[in-house]
Amino acid sequence: MTKIDKFEQRHLSLPLEYRVIGDMMNRLKDSTGKERFILLQKLNRAVRLMECKEAYDPSNPANFGLIQHQQVDSPDDVIDNAGFDKEKQMIQGESLDDEDEEFNEDKEKDDMLIEKLNAIEKKIEEKLADLDHTFGKKGRVLEEEIKDLVEERNSLTDKKRRPMYRKGFDVKVIDVNRTCKVTKGGQIAKYTALLATGNYHGVVGFAKAKGPTAKIAIQRAYEKCFQNLHYMERYEEHTIAHAIQAKYEKTKIYLWPGQMRSGMCAAGRTVETVMYLAGFSNVKSKIIGSRSPLNVIKALFIALNAIETPKDVEQKFGRTVVESYLL
């Protein structure tokens, strides 16, 4: 062994993780086809793990002052002092059925409410069918009964209730717009609410609703946004697979994938909110033309739905996808 080898072994010895990465890079030179694609995925994952490990390594002098250390006797003391009830129950093996029971109760309430609404709708249809053949006093009585049924239906639909798909989702208000119509009797104000929802794991949706007040409009949009959900495939769990552009009316939007920990360089609050709800953390965007929230969100969903992931390309052409810089 030469002096240089001894010096490297003593002062420049690499950790085991870097040796594994080096072996994978050597194997990558000779591999082809599917094996090359799998090795590339493993190599990217290993490099990301090492970057995170170095960024939060307490033994690294560069991180002194950035990472706060707490000296606690045991993990049980950490749980007791931090107040993590759920984590404590999971470690001790206790069941977490409270949330499921609450969710099931809310679901039963929603089902009962839907049954009541369906029964009222049937009654209204029957009364309207009878009203076509009745006149005079009987007709007026039927009209009053129909009005009572409609008011009862509206009171049930305007109740604040939790939708069935709310568990695990977060809802954000994108925009609330007020319009005023001037009539002979005075001004009639209406509100339009635009909401977006997502579970931060690829499922996202939006809805638009109108109402006489802002509260009612937001509530109606809240119930509708869970009926318009889309699944967006995330590339490496943090960005999009490739750059794309989309257009809706006078709005044109451009999206580019970003590197790990590069952050969200969004063109506006609407794009940033929807991307975070979908689970994207490193995406760059630009908007050209109209910046109306509704146009922007529709153009954004058109662009996200048009993205093709490596899996889609493999299924489409029957070939293995490999990064261009490795060819």
| Domains, the chain | 1-51 (no CATH), 170-231 (3.30.160.20), 244-317 (3.30.230.10)
**Full DSSP string of 12-24:** SPPPHHHHHHHHH
Give the whole-angstrom CA distance, residue 103 versus residue 206. Answer: 22
The answer to whether the CB of 219 falls within 8 A of the CB of 161 is no
Sign of CA dihedral 128, 220, 217, 252: negative
The answer to whether the CB of 245 falls within 8 A of the CB of 234 is no
At 12, phi and psi to the nearest 5?
A: -120, 35
What distances in angstroms separate CA 61 from CA 47, 68, 94, 139, 264, one per listed residue? 21, 13, 40, 87, 29
- Using alpha carbons, select from 216, 215, 233, 170 the residue that is nearest to residue 196: 170
pLDDT under 50: residue ranges of the chain: 65-84, 86-96, 160-164, 327
Helix (H, G, I), strand (E, B) or coil at 164: coil
Give pLDDT, residue 162.
Answer: 47
Q: In the numeric block, which tokens belong to residue 305?
A: 């739905």
Q: What is the pLDDT of residues 256-291, one digit of tens each?
A: 998 888 888 877 889 999 999 999 989 999 999 999
Helix (H, G, I), strand (E, B) or coil at 247: strand
* Residue 322: partners with Cβ closer than 8 Å, 6 or more residues away: 36, 37, 40
Give the whole-angstrom CA distance, residue 56 versus residue 67. Answer: 7
Residue with tokens 């009171």: 155
Computed on alpha carbons and rounded to an integer, the radius of gyration of the chain in Å comes to 29
Q: In the numeric block, which tokens belong to residue 281?
A: 């953390």
Give pLDDT, residue 83.
Answer: 41
Give the whole-angstrom CA distance, residue 40 versus residue 9. Answer: 29
- Using alpha carbons, select from 198, 194, 189, 201 the residue that is nearest to residue 222: 194
- DSSP class of 177: E
Give pLDDT, residue 106.
Answer: 65
